[in-house]
Chain A
Amino acid sequence: MTFARDSYRTVVVGAGIVGLFTAYHLARAGGGPILVVDRGFLSSGASGRNGGGVRQQWETRGTVRLARESVQAYRRFGLEFGFNIWFRQSGYLFLAENEGELARLRNVHALVASEGLPSKVLDGDGIAQLIEGIAPGAAVGGTYLESDGLLYPFPALWGVYEAVRSLGVEVALGVEAHGVEVRDGKVAGLLTSKGPVATSTVVNAAGGWSGDLSRRSGLEVPNVATRHEILATEALKPFLDPMVVRVSDGLYFSQSMRGEVIGGLTLPHRPGTSRGQGSSPAFLTTMARALVGLVPRLGSVGVLRAWSGFYDDTPDGFPVIGEDPRLPGFVHGNGFGGHGFMLAPATSRRIALAALGQPTDLDPAQFSPRRFLAPTPVATVERLQLG
């Protein structure tokens, strides 16, 4: 298979939720013809491998606002795209195990509340009311925001995929991007496993593979792909409403609409390992201990399956959005650090603007690729890179 045309105005690399949403906004802005390429099948990357959490509790105002806008977009998703994503606003609950963690969460609460979101600080009793069967004394307190929630990622992908196709966007699956072609210091095309394609704009929305694409295009970037594992249990009748996230070890879990408990935690990552998306005994045992330690009654519940996916991490924990100043026509929409799904609706709108050469309202110090080129190290760091 080759492409329908020899040349496109924009080529988006990555048919995950960020790439597809970006293509959607580009197409609606009349930015065609557009080609989206992806190395795998639809949903084979992190967009088909995440836990479905969508939250607005963050440590910076810029991220809180993007997240709030994304929540609004997901609320409208069914009507706009024709697919039911089962978006359930039943809250995100952050757990603190000590006063230090709780103090940090209080700061998050203050910021989130100042943005008009009704975040709450809970004590141990308040938490016990939200997690049936929690081990006594497992948390000293936490924060809770009911309008955070959960969705079912697959139909969101199908919905945006079908929408972009009906807008005339070409989506080529099973096509690997090998790097951009540069002429006169600007992007002139994309080299792919199915041959070259001419374009003046390439959007790098390749998730865990975005660092590879940037580097193969001659751009040094700090993006690191880190593998995160996740598991799902057999389906139980509903007993847990919110997504629960523990600050200390990044343990997170929720109960899906189907009744499965789905969750993961952060394991030490060994850089430079293969890109296999398998599971490890270490994750299964560590995760099981963490989960049973927090909710002992889950001990007899069977783990149904485990899998993994790649976070596209940046040193400061913020995504990279905008044109690369070193290579005109090369637009970043990556570095989401495992939170692409929850931020996609709002960020992809800005990525599309950047691809059209228009200004965005994003704070360049927080989101621009320029921040990694500055001689001074980055100022703020998002530490709530959990769940």
Chain B
Amino acid sequence: MVGEPDRQFSFRGRPRSARKGETLLSVLSRDRIPLLHRSIQYHRPQGPLCGIGHCTGCLVRVNGRPNVRACRYEPTSGDSVTTENAWPSPSWDLLGAIGLLMPGGVDSLHGLRRPAVATRLYQRLVRRLAGTGEPPTDAVSRALSAPAVERSPEVVVIGAGEAGRSVAAALAARGITPVVVERGLHPPTTDGAELLGATTAVFLPPPAETGERRFTLLAFREPAQGVRIDARSVVVATGGYDASLLFGGNDRPGVLTADAALALAAPSRPPPFHEAVVVGGGRRAAEVLSSCGDAVTAVVAPGEIRPEVVRAASDRGILLYPRSLLLRAGGRKHVRSVRLRARGGGSETTIACDAIVLAHRRVPHAQLFFQSGAAMEWRPGVGAYAPTVSANGATSVPGLFASGSVAGISPSEFAHHAETVADAVVRGVGPTGSAPSPTPDVAATELVGYYRELLRVPGHGRWVACPCVDVLVAEVERAVRSGYRGIEVVKRYTSLGSGICQGRYCLPDALLLLSILEDRPPAEVGYITQRPPVVPIPLAALASLPNPPALEVHP
């Protein structure tokens, strides 16, 4: 990137510059995690949480296009970037008064239903406040139209992480040229495979019952190009992501997942924090310490802290707080501290910090398996659903395979597993034997105990259970108290999980929460139907895709 001129763009009217390959969020996070967004209902300061294109915390408007994720957008010269849903600015938003005036939340189900004139006025006001970005301009949509990409390979591999690349290489070695679909903006290539980068797979319905039983995969390439792939076999290696955690102020700017911290710290640039608290005592926490340990001040874990994390921390003089409850993040517009309490009712401590990095729990990116009708199972270890996978990576859907961590394979086994999967794909064999079960950082059973304690903390009802839609814990508790049971109904009652992240960051916690509130195992709380698309896909991308030969309607 040496010799490449910086890209000059404007952010809120002020000139900024980006290097090639640098995301907008990365540019805006040079000093610290920025405040770009206000929550949709209460206008709370909301920070970029996930760093991988799912949460609402970095939504901005770019050249008249609303709801662009700063973490997935690389500025080009002349871009005009503005913020949304805050007036006059995300830092000083007058609408923040809504949250301050109604600290217990707005009861949109029972409130505001007086007749006649008042109702109309309420509705008009509420409607004005709804939504995030202003609608796009005509010019934006015209500029985005591009011819669709269509491929019909033998095999498509979804995910070009280490696991996906291993599978692609193993297939190439067996004479198959797979198409590899990868969401990352600059993925590494694999010899013998065709790589579609910056491409997100969003919809994998079950294969057509008639004829050849080929899969149809819908995807889109940034910014809005439609992609359609027909393949005989599909290998999904979508890995996992770092989950959120329930505590006061858990969407404050400065609270971020390990995914975000690692994305913003890498490569070869200082992290956007100086004294972070890392949450978690397992492998993921160790990764954060090895990548940006110099900017970490303490490690806090819901459970025990593993020896490798203890070693990495003591080398740097980082304080350790095992078996601790995270009560709340301090600081109004940015994290300034975190308040802890020892598990089991110990004393409280406050640690000064400028970021809270969540590295306590990694859950699988399993949405495509749900869509395709694959048998899923509750993994009590991670506290999430994952496909039922046999030792050779086969799922219950013929032709659909899983590899890598989404299949419960540990990184040291990726290469070996890839060979097994490639053999099974080539021979077209189905499930054989049972798969290994993964070892999580914190067992979800332990997290249930953690949440049981947390639900006794005074004031927890005001905590945010679903940041995208601004659903408070009290609303979930109220739904259960009123007799609405199961995640599907509680979702519809509270709107939890219906926001832009498709429930990624509220569901893992909500399932455990409901299991406690309803007093039954998490697996009985059910799961939200994982509807297409996995990630919002622009209408223009869909519109550019030709219809299948017959209007094939899948079950």
Contact = CB atoms under 8 A, between A and B. Distances in A.
The answer to whether A and B come from one shared complex is yes
Interface of A: 41-44, 48, 75-76, 78-79, 82-84, 86, 88, 132-133, 154-155, 158, 162, 227, 233-239, 257-259, 267-270, 273-274, 276, 278-289, 291-293, 296-307
A285 B543 contact: yes
- Among A75, A258, A274, max chain B CB count under 10 A is at A258
Nearest to B144: A300
Given A78-B115, A267-B553, 19 more contacts: A43-B492, A79-B114, A83-B113, A235-B500, A236-B132, A237-B128, A238-B131, A276-B555, A279-B531, A280-B553, A284-B218, A286-B547, A288-B541, A292-B543, A296-B138, A299-B140, A302-B67, A303-B533, A303-B542
A239 B531 contact: no
B100 interface: no
A303 B202 CA distance: 10
B130 A268 contact: no
A282 B205 contact: no
A287 B533 CA distance: 14
10 tightest A-B CB contacts, nearest first: A259-B131, A302-B536, A78-B113, A299-B141, A299-B540, A288-B542, A276-B555, A288-B543, A274-B555, A84-B113
A44 B488 contact: yes
B538 interface: yes
A299 B553 contact: no
A296 B115 CA distance: 37
Contacts of B482: 162
Contacts, number: 216
B130 A238 contact: yes
B133 interface: yes
B3 interface: no
Given A158-B493, A284-B218, A297 B140 contact: yes
Interface stretch (B104-112, B277-285, B410-418): B104-112
B131 A284 contact: no
12 contacts: A86-B123, A162-B482, A235-B130, A237-B130, A278-B554, A281-B216, A284-B532, A286-B547, A288-B539, A289-B542, A301-B538, A303-B539
A292 B218 contact: no
A288 B216 CA distance: 17
B40 interface: yes
A238 B134 CA distance: 8
Given A43-B492, A158-B493, A259-B131, A284 B113 contact: no
B135 interface: yes
A149 to B, nearest CB: 11
A88 B123 contact: yes
Contacts of B134: 236-237, 239
B145 interface: yes
B416 to A, nearest CB: 35
Given A267-B551, A270-B553, A281 B203 contact: yes
B536 A303 contact: yes
A75 B132 CA distance: 28
Interface string B117-148: 00100010011101111111110111011000
Contacts of B542: 284-285, 287-289, 303
Interface string B36-72: 0000100000000000000000000000011100000
B144 A238 contact: no
B130 A259 contact: yes
A307 B137 CA distance: 28
Contacts of A301: 66-67, 135-136, 538-539
A237 B67 CA distance: 11
B537 interface: yes
Contacts of B371: 278
Interface in B495-545: 498, 500, 502, 529, 531-533, 535-543, 545
B552 interface: yes
